[in-house]
Chain A
Amino acid sequence: MSDLELSNRAVAGRSLPRPPRIGTVLALAFVAFLAVATFAPGLLQTTDPDAIAPRDAFEPPSWAHWFGTDESGRDVYSRVVEGTAASLLIGVSATAIGLALGLLLGGLAGLGGRVLDFAVGRVNEVLFAFPGILLALLIIVLWGPGPVTATIAVGLSTAPGYARIIRGELVRVRTSSYVEAARVLGHGRARVLVRHILPNALAPLVVLATLGIGQAVVWASALSYLGLGAQPPAAEWGAMLSAGRIYITTAWWLTVFPGLMIVVTTITTTMLGRTLAARDGSRR
């Protein structure tokens, strides 16, 4: 190693324990908001999200109705809060399904020997050939629309990506010299797997999962928007977008606010994922 690199690393090392950045703080605050909206929406809502008031229909944003009202006079802000649980549930469950399946396929490919690696690899390539959303549509066509199907569909279509990353990590760690060192010490296969291979290969999954939730929320909303996920009376962000679409020229707030929630949720999870990734990277 050259002297230059050494000194650079010394400099970087000293500035490590710095205070969290403002973006991270904002992201964490928004996550807290989402958590409350999911588990106790009543704390944040100003009115009953399903209360109909035809007289107040199509009110623009005001003090009384922060995000305005919809065609039935329902408060858009309260509905957006109400929809958080549904949207996030779909996003988180879909990510969990994708990760679980990715772990299974990636684990088989990465640890199961050459034949399994080849087989899983080819299956994965076939799945990769379809755009994810197309695969999701195919599954919905087979099993009928609805939030559960949408969740499974999004989960399945993200699995090949996870599988590939997990396989790569497993292979990287399995062939690393610290795993070899553990074998030389006389540790058994199971112990090496549990102590070295799994923790090191799966640590990046936390990052992947966080990044994946944002993506899954977007996909689930897209399916709901197309009428293939949560159905319109439900206060789900994608469904709200879909319902507000026909009034987009007269009542912009019907689509802008649910859309904003999707965008900000995605940005937030991506940012947190990046922060986690950076921290993970600096530890290695």
Chain B
Amino acid sequence: MSGGEPVRPDPGPVTAPDAPVLDVAGLSVAFRDGRGWREVVHGLDLSVAAGTCVAVVGESGSGKSVTARAVLGLAGAGARVRADRLDVAGADLRRADERDWRRMRGARAGLVLQDALVSLDPLRTIGREIGDPLRLHLRMPPAAARSRALELLELVGMPHPALTVDRRSGELSGGMRQRALIAAALALDPPLLIADEPTTALDVGVQARVLGLLEAARDRGTAVLLISHDLAVVSRMADRVVVLHDGRVVEQGPTAELLGDPRHPITRALIAAVPTEVPRGAPLSLAPHGADAATADRPPGPAPAATSAPGLPSSGPPGAPVTATRPPILEGLGLTKSFGSGPTRVLAVQDASFRIEPGRTLGLVGESGSGKSTLARLVLGLTAPDAGEVRLDGGPWTTLPERGRRPLRRRLGAVYQDAFGSFDPRWSVRRILRDALAAAGAETSDAAVAVLLDQVRLAPGVSAQHPLALSGGQRQRVAIARALAGSPDVLVCDEPVSALDATVQARVLDLLDEIQRERGLAMLFISHDLGVIRHMSDTIAVMRSGRIIEQGDAERVFTAPEHEATAALIRDSPRLVIRGPGSNR
């Protein structure tokens, strides 16, 4: 550790060496609901020992984040927190008031949140943000606080710490902000570090570095409480896993044992939802869900509808030259697009060429800012390329004027990351789908809407709802139904599951897979998540700084990447590692 001796302010009551740093028993949290209380966490027990990492996993709404906040006294003014025991680093916090909490936060427990952009004050420099807890808790003079902040930035691997220390959060990238936040959380070297979805919004490379930092903190003796819905992340660094569902612990145990031999259905569903190791075409979700039962009797493998694309290889033999024999439905030829002009000109996409055959999926992967979404906009004809063209079914597409493109638009469907934002806020599901059917020149009856909803396994009753009343997964299903309204040949999916929980993500991916097989749809599937890409794609294109640096059969790209950056992406992406019981760490 380059930061010299760890500074441990206000040591408080000395704890026995093996006493847990975080010790919670019978924790319950309730929120005011009208006149009564609605309990969201029911009698939870949790303990984290020094130098270990305990992960709390569960779907959203399971009470993970509320638990993490309650432990820090941050559950909110409308919340009622009760516990039989609530000890942090030896201090009993059951009766703590706001002053006690303030003294505890930072000194005894640090918090790392998902969204570093809103967790850092945009008007203050990183140096001040990190130095403040030092000045506040240790009364460190400004100069000393600054040099300690520099040390911490170096510790978390911030590039050019001497420059970064005077920057504000808006001037940093997402990964740099997250590292600054971790530096701030580590400033007082607290015995407990709580990380709430610390890597969810980050690219895989950055994600790996951030997890490395948390691991390093744990190995220095910090107790780490990791909140996550991503078991791949958890399997990498947690010693113990606690599975939450509806505010209760349904299963817990050492990571290897729990992941290797899950007992509870919720745990099994969470494990099955990790897409990385599941072969293409195999379902990710375990039980048939809701209206899915209607499709359960369908034989596995390509559905009869797929015969519209004769000779469709189910997953394609690796490196097979089939790709050259069938005409592509969608083809990109030397696409180039830049934004701005002069010295600030940015080449978002550079000389990108690709082809997608009917019934096949091209997975487009790359870090944020690599030009994936610009490429999607070019394909959808929303922005004109500077050079090159996109051809649809052998005919021109991007070279057509908008008037000529409009009648062809129904052949391309689009699914976005933010399904909710893609709906007119005044419209009900029925109106959204009717509008899409009308655009395709199809019948707009209630029956037609019900058929669309059925295709995405939603009950017809959903049509009367406003998207606001739907869950994230349901919204994305409605968005898929809208994209299917025109019976498209190609579906462009731009990060369609990135905003969803692991288990919901699994169900939406399964749905897309089924629909593709039923209809022989071609898909352009964009994601930053390699696990998802690998599960969904026949061929893969890897983008970096606007260029497609590698392209080929999915299995070939994953098993024998040609480009160094691809290899790094694959190496850094978290995957579910299930070791045999007893071999933990």
Binding site for B on A (CB under 8 A): 1-4, 6-8, 11, 14-15, 176-178, 180-188, 195-196, 199-200, 203, 283-284
Give the nearest-CB partner of A2 in chain B. B65
Q: Once the chains bind, are B482 and A185 in contact (CB under 8 Å)?
A: yes
Interchain Cβ contacts within 8 Å, total number: 97
Contact A184–B65 (Cβ < 8 Å): no
Q: Are A11 and B33 in contact (CB under 8 A)?
A: yes
- Quote the shortest CB–CB distance from A201 to chain B (angstroms): 12
Chain B, residues 404-429, CB within 8 Å of chain A (1/0): the string is: 00111110111010100111111000
Kindly report which residue of chain B lies nearest to residue A282, judged by CB atoms: B468
**Residue B470 interfacial (CB < 8 Å):** no
Q: Contact at B61–A6, with CB atoms within 8 Å?
A: yes
Chain A residue with the shortest CB-CB distance to B38: A11
| Residues of chain B within 8 A of A3, CB atoms compared | 40, 60-66
B114 in the interface (beta carbon within 8 A) = yes
Given contacts A7-B38, A181-B423, A185-B436, 13 further A-B contacts (CB under 8 A): A1-B472, A3-B60, A4-B65, A7-B31, A7-B40, A8-B76, A11-B78, A177-B421, A180-B382, A180-B422, A182-B424, A182-B435, A184-B414
- A196 CA to B425 CA in the complex, in Å? 9
- Chain B positions near chain A (C-beta within 8 angstroms): 31-34, 38, 40, 60-66, 69, 75-76, 78, 114, 196-197, 380, 382, 406-410, 412-414, 416, 418, 421-426, 435-436, 439-440, 472, 482, 485-486
Beyond A6-B61, A11-B32, A188-B406, whether A181 also contacts B414 by CB under 8 A is: yes
Which A residue's beta carbon lies closest to that of B113?
A2
Shortest distance between the CB of A129 and any CB in chain B (Å): 29
Are A185 and B426 in contact, CB atoms less than 8 angstroms apart? no
CA distance A8 to B29 in the complex (A): 13
5 closest residue pairs by CB, A with B = A186-B409, A185-B439, A3-B65, A181-B422, A2-B65
- Give chain B residues whose Cβ lies under 8 Å from the Cβ of A183: 382, 409
Q: Which residues of A contact B76 (CB under 8 A)?
A: 4, 8
Could you say which residues of chain B place their CB within 8 Å of the CB of A14?
33-34
A186 touching B422, Cβ below 8 Å? no
Q: With A and B bound together, what is the CA distance between A131 and B66 in angstroms? A: 50
On whether the beta carbons of B382 and A7 are closer than 8 Å, the reply is: no
Contact B486 A186 (CB under 8 A): yes
Given A11-B33, A180-B382, also A185-B410 (CB < 8 A): yes
**Which residues of B lie under 8 Å from residue A6 when comparing CB positions?**
60-61
Contacts of B34 in A (CB 8 A): 14-15
What are 6 A-B pairs at a CB distance below 8 A? A3-B40, A3-B65, A4-B65, A4-B69, A11-B32, A185-B485
From B31, B114, B413, B439, give the contact of A2 (CB < 8 A).
B114
Contacts of A188 in B (CB 8 A): 406
- Tell me the interface secondary structure of chain B in the complex: mixed
**Which residues from B are CB-within-8-Å of A7?**
31, 38, 40, 61, 66
- Given that A11-B38, A178-B423 are known contacts, is A184 also in contact with B409, CB under 8 Å in the complex? yes
Residues of A within 8 A of B406 (CB): 186, 188
A218 to B197, CA, bound (A): 53
When distances are taken between beta carbons in the complex, the residues of chain A under 8 Å from B66 are: 3-4, 7
Would you give the shortest CB distance from A180 to chain B, in whole angstroms? Answer: 6
Give B479's nearest chain A residue, CB to CB.
A181
| Interfacial chain A residues near B410, Cβ < 8 Å | 185-186
Q: How far is the CB of A207 from chain B (nearest CB, A)?
A: 15
Alpha-carbon separation in the docked complex, A202 to B38 (Å): 38
Decide if B439 touches A186 in the complex (CB within 8 Å). yes
B261 CB, nearest partner CB in chain A, Å: 27
Smallest beta-carbon distance B374→chain A, Å: 14
C-alpha spacing A213/B416, complex, angstroms: 41
Q: Is the CB of B382 within 8 A of A184?
A: yes
> Which of A8, A183, A195, A283: most chain B Cβ within 10 A?
A183
Query: What is the bound-complex CA distance between A182 and B197, given in angstroms?
Result: 34
Contacts of A203 in B (CB 8 A): 426
Are B114 and A187 touching (Cβ within 8 A)? no
Inter-subunit contact B425/A200 (CB<8 Å): yes
Q: How far is the CA of A273 from the CA of B114 in the complex (A)?
A: 37
Chain B positions within 8 Å of A8 at CB level: 31, 76, 78
Do A176 and B421 have beta carbons less than 8 Å apart?
A: yes
Contacts of B412 in A (CB 8 A): 184
Q: How far is the CA of A185 from the CA of B405 in the complex (A)?
A: 11
Chain A residues with CB under 8 A of B435: 182, 185, 187, 195
Chain A residue nearest in CB terms to B471: A6
Contact of B196 among A1, A2, A283, A284 (CB under 8 A): A2
Neighbouring A residues of B421 by C-beta, 8 Å = 176-178
- Contact of B424 with A1 in the complex, beta carbons under 8 Å: no
CB-based nearest A residue for B416: A177
Nearest-Cβ distance from residue A2 to partner chain B, whole angstroms? 4
How many angstroms from the CA of A15 to the CA of B406 in the assembled complex?
44
A186 to B66 alpha-carbon distance, docked (Å)? 44
Chain A residues within an 8 Å CB radius of B60: 1-3, 6
- Please tell me which one of the listed residues A4, A15, A177 contacts residue B422 in the complex, with CB atoms under 8 A apart: A177
Whole-angstrom CA separation of A188 from B421 in the bound complex? 20
Residues from chain A with a CB closer than 8 A to the CB of B413 are 184
**Complex: A55 Cα to B221 Cα, angstroms:** 96
With both beta carbons as reference points, the residue of chain A lying nearest to B439 in the complex is identified as A185
What's the least CB distance linking A6 to chain B, in Å? Answer: 6
* Among B60, B75, B485, residue most surrounded by chain A Cβ atoms (within 10 Å): B60
Point out the residues of chain B lying under 8 angstroms from A2, CB to CB.
Answer: 60, 65, 114, 196-197
Evaluate whether A186 and B62 lie within 8 angstroms (CB atoms) in the complex, with A8-B31, A11-B31, A14-B34 already known: no
Q: How far is the CB of A176 from chain B (nearest CB, A)?
A: 7
Closest to B196 in A: A2
| Measured CA separation A250–B64 after assembly (Å) | 71
Q: Nearest residue in B to A3 (C-beta to C-beta)?
A: B65
Nearest A residue to B32, CB-CB: A11
Q: Name the one of B196, B197, B418, B440 contacting A177, with C-beta atoms under 8 angstroms.
A: B418
Instruction: List chain B residues, Cβ under 8 A from A4.
Output: 65-66, 69, 75-76
Docked-complex contact A200 and B424, CB < 8 angstroms: yes
Closest chain B CB from A113 CB (angstroms): 15
CB distance from B32 to the nearest CB of A (A): 7
| Contact, CB under 8 Å: A185 / B424 | no
Q: Are A196 and B424 in contact (CB under 8 A)?
A: yes
- The CA of A15 and the CA of B391, in the complex, are separated in Å by 52
How long is the Cα–Cα vector from A137 to B142 in the complex, in angstroms? Answer: 56
Q: Hey, which chain B residues are within 8 Å of A200, CB to CB?
A: 424-426
By a CB distance below 8 angstroms, the chain B residues around A181 are: 414, 416, 422-423, 482
Do residues A185 and B65 form an inter-chain contact, with CB atoms below 8 A? Answer: no
CA distance A11 to B40 in the complex (A): 12
The closest CB in chain A to the CB of B114 belongs to A2
Q: Is the CB of A184 within 8 A of B424?
A: no
What distance in Å separates the Cβ of A7 from its nearest Cβ neighbour in chain B?
6
A184 to B416, CA, bound (A): 11
**Nearest residue in B to A176 (C-beta to C-beta)?**
B421
* Distance between B43 CB and nearest chain A CB, rounded to angstroms: 17
